[in-house]
Amino acid sequence: MPDAEGHPNVEEMDFQTVLKALSDPLRYQVIATLAGLPDSTERTCTSFGLPVSKSTRTHHFRILREAGLVRQVDRGNSRSAQLRRADIERRFPGLLGLVTDNAQLPEGVELLATRD
């Protein structure tokens, strides 16, 4: 059962739900960006510069949260998102490597190596 904020536990993370969450290019971009950053990096939802309204941005992050891809934390009047890297790797080994290998990020955004 998801926690009070809607984060599923690792065993509840469903592959089809994760794939559906990643099927949207903006959500894919968010996950690829977070996967390329050091572990435990938190970013506000607005920091991704998604070209959508606030309500649509909220919707995208809800989908990512409910799929188990990100953990969101309230920070006053904003929310921060953190990639659930260890949980994703435990449940779906290699998925983040595939995401970063196939990412098409905006110019100027680079990914850090995510594999040994």
Mean predicted lDDT score pLDDT of the chain: 87
Q: How far is CA 18 from the centre of its chain?
A: 10
Q: What is the pLDDT of residues 31-59, one digit of tens each?
A: 999 998 999 999 999 999 999 999 999 99
Does a structural domain hold residue 52? yes
Question: Residue 31: is it exposed, middle or buried by C-beta count within 10 angstroms (0-12/13-18/19+)?
Answer: buried
**What pTM was estimated for this model as a whole?**
0.85
* Residue type for position 17: T
In a domain, 114, yes or no: no
Q: Tell me the pLDDT tens digit for each residue of 53-81.
A: 999 999 999 999 999 999 998 888 888 99
Q: Which sign does the torsion angle of CA 39, 102, 105, 111 carry?
A: positive
Query: Per-residue DSSP letters for 21-58?
Result: HHTSHHHHHHHHHHHTSPTT-EEEGGGG--SS-HHHHH
Per the domain annotation, does 115 fall within a domain? Answer: no
Q: Flag whether 41 is in a domain.
A: yes
Partners of 75 in beta bridges: 78
Can you name the residues that pair with 43 across neighbouring β-strands? Answer: 81
Reading the block at residue 60, the tokens are: 């995208």
Domain span at residue 77 reads 10-101
Does 44 map to a domain?
A: yes
Band (102; pLDDT cuts 50, 70, 90) = confident
Task: Give the CATH number, domain containing residue 43.
Answer: 1.10.10.10
For residue 74, tell me if it sits in a domain. Answer: yes
* Number of domains the chain is built from: 1
Task: Please report whether residue 88 resides in a domain.
Answer: yes
> Is 2 within a domain?
no
**pLDDT band at 19; cut points 50, 70, 90:** very high
